[in-house]
Amino acid sequence: MNKKDLAEIKKLLIEKKAELLNKTNNAQRDINSDDINVGDEIDTARQNSDKEMFFELVAGDKITLNAVNDALAKIEKNTYGTCECCGEEIPAERLKAIPWTRYCIKCQEEAENPKR
Measured in degrees and rounded to the nearest 5, phi and psi for residue 89 equal -75, 135
Q: Where would I find the H helices in the chain? A: 3-33, 41-77, 92-97, 105-112
- The DSSP secondary-structure symbol of 103 reads S
List the chain pLDDT tens, one digit each, 116 residues.
788 889 999 999 999 999 988 887 776 666 555 555 556 666 666 666 666 666 666 778 888 989 999 999 999 999 999 999 999 999 999 999 999 999 999 999 988 887 75
d(CA 14, CA 106): 27
Question: Could you count the other beta carbons within 10 Å of the beta carbon of residue 20?
Answer: 21
Cβ atoms of 69 and 98 closer than 8 Å = no
